[in-house]
Amino acid sequence: MPKITQSLDAEQAEFDSKVRQIEEWWTSPRQKHIQRPYSSARIASLRGLLPQKYASSDMALKLWDLLNEHRVNGTNEMTFGVTDPIIASQMAKYQQTLYVSGALCGFSEVSEPGMDCCDYPLDTVPKVVDKIFKSQCWHSQRQNHYRMLQPKEARANLENWDYLTPIVADGDMGFGGLTSTVKMTKLFVEAGVAMFHLDDLAIGKKKFTVGQGRTVVPTSEYLDRLTAARMQIDIMGAETMLLCRCDVDHSEFITDVIDARDHKYVRGATVPVKSLQETLKEAVEAGSSNPLEVRKEWIKSANLLTFDEAVQAIATPEEYTTYTTKLGSGNKSLKDRRAIAKETVSKDIFFDWDLPRSREGQFFYKSCVSGIVERALLAAPLGDVTWARMDMPNWDDIVSFHEQVRAVFPDRLFAFGYTGDYDYPKAGFTPEKVKSFPSDMAKLGVAWQVQPIWALQGINYQTEKFAKLWKERGIEGYVEVVQKPALATKPLTDGFEKPSYSGSYLCDAFWDTVAVRDVGEGGGGKISENRIR
């Protein structure tokens, strides 16, 4: 291996210049809102010596412009989840972005399918992004080639789609410790993603049917995750956008109480009872067949409250006012809260956040809008877009959340996901309100909106209909219900009619270019690239 012979002075000058370049880059309109907790020199020192350029940067800049245009106009992009390049190609005609959903990938892009538990390998979603991005490039190539086969005037009548729609992808909770997040980020950038989201959910603790809610990680862990991703994007010198998703809404647990900023939302038992785990163990040993019911009863008996709620329940109204005044608006730890309560409230406050801890050690957590706002505000400077993921669309909460964040960051971009099983009537939405929901949210700055799992509900529905038709009517049904309408659809659904979706012209052009010959009838007609040139 040859040694690098550069002088120390030259090496230092090169390094200093790289640091200056990074600093300049960070002041660009796309970058200037981001606040890094690390220096440009640290990033320069973390880079390798071979400068790389990533398509992810081009796609991110495109997305950045698109979403900011929407924000300024109070409009929005509407997209849906996709894992299949064929579906992605048709979306390009109506959507300006695509979403690669983790839930969908977990169902269809792995050898062992399962519910949206993020238990698939960390490269699963990046691989799907890579597949779709390459297909977008291919469509763009074949369309461009086909157009350039035609004389200039004829091109006016041809379809001309922008297949290079920026891809937004699901980074879930980063798939492990910080080095996993770094590796996943690298894969996303290399795959051509425009933006990906990282959530504050706990790894391995997504539960759906056991009557328990989501689990979030401490604020500090969430911010570290986002910082790890941002650092890796910076190391790569990419423009890739980071979407900070916060899952506090409807979260029932937090994994740890290491961060005092979370203390006011942690719930504890306010009566001296046996711990939940002891109670469950004893119940099971005594032959209980319904531990869920035992858990429910225990929760009732323990009167779970946050510390401040426990103070309010015990103190006189005057004492509580003195308590909250002394508390101020800072993020006091439980220890500080206890000390203030001791000074201001005459009775003792019983509060034990260990008694309710789950089998896996999680603490009970009170989800509320202020909790989401606090996290979103802390996360915002590390990312580009904010998403408060909601289990149910509560309009008042949606307005309150976005208004509070916008009061601090007026130009903030927001995202929103129409989770598949939203029950709109139950959430108080009239049909009119459902209709205006996207545009109402757009006025709050929610520039990017997604139905993440259409491919489950929608494709299942369409496939079931076609499977029935095929069984009952065979090829006649196919011709009448699929082929004829597909070929009659304008714009074309790219179903076997010229301009050839299959890319046959492109394929023939390769032969043609290599062999410098006409491709003959049935391929590209008599047109050859060499003749056009």
Ligand X SMILES: C[C@](O)(C(=O)O)[C@H](CC(=O)O)C(=O)O
Annotated binding-site ranges for Mg(2+): 170
| Minimum gap (Å) between residue 107 Cβ and ligand X | 10
Nearer Cβ to ligand X (75/419): 419
Nearer Cβ to ligand X (334/385): 385
Q: Are 452 and 101 in contact (CB under 8 A)?
A: yes
Q: Kindly indicate which of the ranges 88-96, 273-281, 412-420, 493-501 contains the residues binding ligand X, using the contact rule CB under 6 A.
A: 412-420
Q: Kindly indicate which of the ranges 100-108, 143-151, 400-408, 509-517 contains the residues binding ligand X, using the contact rule CB under 6 A.
A: 100-108
| Minimum gap (Å) between residue 421 Cβ and ligand X | 7
389 φ, ψ to 5°?
-75, 130
How many residues in the shown chain lie near ligand X by CB under 6 A?
Answer: 12
Q: Kindly indicate which of the ranges 101-109, 137-145, 249-257, 459-467 contains the residues binding ligand X, using the contact rule CB under 6 A.
A: 101-109
Locus of tokens 């980071």: 242
Nearer Cβ to ligand X (320/401): 401
Nearer Cβ to ligand X (120/364): 120
Nearer Cβ to ligand X (58/123): 123
Q: Are 254 and 337 in contact (CB under 8 A)?
A: no
| Minimum gap (Å) between residue 422 Cβ and ligand X | 8
Binding flag, residue 126, ligand X (CB under 6 A): no
| Minimum gap (Å) between residue 242 Cβ and ligand X | 16
Cα distance from N-terminal residue to C-terminal residue, the chain = 46
| Minimum gap (Å) between residue 181 Cβ and ligand X | 16
Binding flag, residue 458, ligand X (CB under 6 A): no
Instruction: Kindly identify the residues of this chain, within the stretch 30-89, that bind ligand X according to CB under 6 A.
Output: 81
Nearer Cβ to ligand X (197/337): 197
Q: Are 256 and 363 in contact (CB under 8 A)?
A: yes
Q: Are 229 and 198 in contact (CB under 8 A)?
A: yes
* CB within 8 Å of 189: residues ≥ 6 apart: 54, 56, 232, 233, 236, 238, 240
Q: Are 180 and 113 in contact (CB under 8 A)?
A: no
Residue 450 β-bridge partners = 79, 417
Long-range contacts of 272-280 (CB under 8 A, 24+ apart): 272/350, 272/352, 273/298, 273/301, 273/302, 273/355, 274/355, 275/354, 275/355, 275/356, 275/357, 276/302, 276/355, 276/356, 276/357, 276/358, 277/357, 277/358, 277/359, 280/359
| Minimum gap (Å) between residue 172 Cβ and ligand X | 7
Binding flag, residue 101, ligand X (CB under 6 A): yes
Q: Kindly indicate which of the ranges 45-53, 99-107, 261-269, 396-404 contains the residues binding ligand X, using the contact rule CB under 6 A.
A: 99-107
The secondary element (H helix, E strand) that includes residue 99 is strand 98-100
Q: Kindly indicate which of the ranges 45-53, 97-105, 404-412, 509-517 contains the residues binding ligand X, using the contact rule CB under 6 A.
A: 97-105
Long-range contacts of 338-341 (CB under 8 A, 24+ apart): 338/307, 341/307, 341/311, 341/315
| Minimum gap (Å) between residue 387 Cβ and ligand X | 9
Locus of tokens 């990282």: 198
Nearer Cβ to ligand X (228/390): 390
Q: Among 452, 499, 523, 524, which residue interacts with ligand X (rule: CB under 6 A)?
A: 452
Query: What's the token pair of residue 491?
Result: 């714009």
Q: Which of 348, 292, 286, 285 is nearest to 315 (CA)?
A: 348
Q: Kindly indicate which of the ranges 187-195, 336-344, 417-425, 487-495 contains the residues binding ligand X, using the contact rule CB under 6 A.
A: 417-425
Nearer Cβ to ligand X (44/246): 246
Query: What's the token pair of residue 502?
Result: 């299959």
Strands (E), 363-521: 363-365, 385-388, 413-417, 446-451
CA distance 17 to 13: 6
Q: Among 171, 268, 393, 417, which residue interacts with ligand X (rule: CB under 6 A)?
A: 417
| Minimum gap (Å) between residue 415 Cβ and ligand X | 10
Interface characters, 374-393, with ligand X (x: CB under 6 A)? ---------------x----
| Minimum gap (Å) between residue 101 Cβ and ligand X | 3
Interface characters, 103-122, with ligand X (x: CB under 6 A)? x------------x------
The secondary element (H helix, E strand) that includes residue 77 is strand 77-80
The secondary element (H helix, E strand) that includes residue 517 is none
CA distance 155 to 159: 8
Nearer Cβ to ligand X (268/417): 417
Count Cβ neighbours within 10 Å for each residue of 28-38 and write b for 16 or more, e otherwise. eebbeebebee
Nearer Cβ to ligand X (100/231): 100
Residue 425 CB-density burial (10 A; 0-12 exposed, 13-18 middle, 19+ buried): exposed
Q: Among 168, 453, 455, 509, which residue interacts with ligand X (rule: CB under 6 A)?
A: 453
Instruction: Kindly identify the residues of this chain, within the stretch 186-215, that bind ligand X according to CB under 6 A.
Output: none
| Minimum gap (Å) between residue 389 Cβ and ligand X | 5
Q: Which stretches of the chain bind ligand X, using CB under 6 A? A: 81, 101-103, 116, 170, 389, 417, 419-420, 452-453
